[in-house]
Structure 1
Amino acid sequence: MANWYKNLYVGETAKGRERKIRHQVNRGRFLPGLYLITYAANEKDQLDIIESRYLVQKRVRNTLPEIIGVAFGYQEALEIVREIAEEAFENTGDCDFRHFLQSNTPRQSSGASNL
Structure 2
Amino acid sequence: MEWYKNLYAGDSIIHRQKKVRWKIMHNAGMLRVYVITLASNENNLLDIIPSRELLQKHYPKKELYIVGLAGDYEEALEVAGHIISDVYRKTRGFDVRGYLRPEGKQGV
Q: TM-score, normalised by structure 2?
A: 0.85
Tell me, in whole angstroms, the C-alpha distance in 2 between the residues paired with 1:22 and 1:55: 12
Query: How many angstroms apart in 1 are the aligned matches of 2:61 and 2:76?
Result: 22
The aligned runs of 1:17-32 (5 Å cut-off) are: 17-32=16-31
Calculate percent identity across the aligned residue pairs. Answer: 37
Counting matched residue pairs gives 103
The 8 Å contact of residues 36 and 52 in structure 1, kept in 2 or not, is answered as yes
Name the structure 1 match of 2:48.
49
Pairs within 5 Å for 1:5-84? 5-60=4-59, 62-84=61-83
**CA contact 2:54–2:61 (8 Å) conserved in 1:** no
Preserved CA contact (<8 Å) 1:28 1:61 = no
1:101 CA displacement: 1.5
How high is the TM-score relative to the length of structure 1? 0.80
Q: Residue 106 of structure 2 corresponds to which residue in structure 1?
A: none
Q: What's 1:89 paired with?
A: 88
The answer to whether the 8 Å contact 1:89/1:95 transfers is yes
Q: Which runs of 5+ in 1 are unaligned?
A: 105-115
Which piece of structure 1 moves more, 23-32 or 53-62? 53-62
Q: Distance in 1 between matches of 2:55 and 2:48?
A: 16
1:48 is aligned with what amino acid?
A: D
Could you list the runs of 5+ residues in structure 2 that have no partner in the other structure?
104-108
The Cα shift of 1:103 comes to: 6.5
Task: Deviation per CA, 1:49-81: give whole Å up to 9, x if none.
Answer: 000111111221533411100000011111111
Runs of 4+ in 1 over 3 A off after TM superposition: 61-64
Residue by residue over 1:16-39, the C-alpha shift from the partner in whole angstroms, topping out at 9 and shown as x without a partner, is 111111111001232121000001
